[in-house]
Amino acid sequence: MAESACLDTSLNLNLSPSRHMDVAAEMLVEELHRLSSENKKLSERLSRMCESYNALQNHLRELVLVDERKRKAAPHHHESVFGIRNECSISEEPCKKPCREITTTPKVSKYFVRTQQSDNSLYVKDGYQWRKYGQKVTRDNPSPRAYFRCSFAPGCPVKKKVQRSVQDPRVLVATYEGEHNHSPRAEAAAVSSSSLSPLPIAMDRTAGLPTLTLDLVHPSSAGLLHQNAQNTINHLLVQKMASSLTRDPNFTAALATAILDHTT
C-alpha cells in the first residue's frame, strides 16, 4: 500500500548545453530530490499508520469474538469491553433460588468515563440527579466505591455505583442498576463538566486490551451509546487517518484512495 503511494520521481531530463539551463536543471533536480525524500518520509509514516490500523482491526476482531463468547457464557450480566451500555435483564430466566424481590427485574449497565488526572471526585454527570448514600472501599480496588440513588423522581428504583478503574485511575467505572421511571433532566444533560475529557470517546487499556471510554457528558455521547461499536471505531480511525493525510495536499488523493481500498 505504501509503495503504491510513492511517486516516480525519476525524470529523463534533456539538459541543455547552456549554462543558464544547467543551473535551472540543477535546481529542478535538487527540488526533485527534496520531494523524493519527503515522499519517502510520508510513505514511511503512512506505512506505520497502516500497521497500527491493522493491529487495531485485529484487536477489534479479537475483542468482538471474546465479547460474543462471554455473552453466550454469561447471558444475565454482560459488561461490554467497549464500555458501551449493554443491558440484560435477569428476569429472562426463572429464578431457581428464593429471591427477596421476585417481581423486580433490575438491568445492569456499565460505563467507563474518562476524567482529568486532577479530578478526584466520584461524580459522573449523566443528566440525572443522584443522591449519595454510601461509600465503601472494596477488596479488589484501593479507590473507594460510591453508592448513589436517583433522587430526581420519587420512587425511581435506579442505583448507581461509581469507582475508579484499577488499571487507570483517571477512568471512572459507573455501574447502573435498574431503569429510570422518568426522563433525564435536560438542563443537567446539557451542562458540560470541566472535570471530564472534551472528547466523547477515548481509548483505554483495561487488562491489556484496548477499551473504548465514553464521556457521558459530551452532547454527542447519547447518540453514540446506541451505535454499533465496530462502526464507531472504524469511523474514528478513518477520520483520524484522513485528517493526518490532509496535511500534505500532494498525497491526499492517492492516500485517501488507498485507505478506502483498505477499509473495504
Compute the least distance from the CB of residue 121 to DNA, in Å. 8
Q: Which of residues 89-118 bind DNA (CB under 7 A)?
A: 100
Query: Which of 41, 69, 71, 136 is in the footprint of DNA by CB under 7 A?
Result: 136
Other C-beta atoms lying within 10 Å of the C-beta of residue 51:
11
- Integer Cα distance of 200 and 211 in angstroms: 13
Under a CB-based contact definition with an 8 Å cutoff, are residues 84 and 107 in contact?
Answer: no
Compute the least distance from the CB of residue 218 to DNA, in Å. 22
Q: Phi and psi of 222, rounded to 5°? A: -60, -40
Compute the least distance from the CB of residue 115 to DNA, in Å. 16
Sheet holding 171-177, edge to edge: 108-114, 171-177, 159-164, 144-150, 130-137
Q: Which is nearer to DNA, 70 or 132 (CB)?
A: 132
Compute the least distance from the CB of residue 188 to DNA, in Å. 12
Decide if residue 75 touches DNA (CB under 7 A): no
Under a CB-based contact definition with an 8 Å cutoff, are residues 36 and 9 in contact?
Answer: yes
Q: Which of 121, 95, 119 is nearest to 106 (CA)?
A: 95
Q: Which is nearer to DNA, 47 or 147 (CB)?
A: 147
Locate 75 and state its grid cell. 447471558
Stretch that binds DNA, among 30-38, 66-74, 107-115, 129-137 (CB under 7 A): 129-137
In sequence order, which residues have a C-beta less than 8 Å from that of residue 220 and are 6 or more positions away?
200
Compute the least distance from the CB of residue 106 to DNA, in Å. 10
In sequence order, which residues have a C-beta less than 8 Å from that of residue 60 and are 6 or more positions away?
230, 233
Compute the least distance from the CB of residue 246 to DNA, in Å. 45
Locate 190 and state its grid cell. 446539557
Compute the least distance from the CB of residue 174 to DNA, in Å. 13
Q: Which of 240, 260, 239 is nearest to 4 (CA)?
A: 260
Query: What is the pattern of x (binds DNA, CB under 7 A) and - over residues 138-177?
Result: xxx----xxx---x-------x-x----------------
Locate 103 and state its grid cell. 417481581
Stretch that binds DNA, among 64-72, 85-93, 125-133, 195-203 (CB under 7 A): 125-133
Query: Which of 131, 182, 235, 240 is in the footprint of DNA by CB under 7 A?
Result: 131
Q: Which is nearer to DNA, 135 or 227 (CB)?
A: 135
Binding site for DNA (CB under 7 A): 100, 130-136, 138-140, 145-147, 151, 159, 161
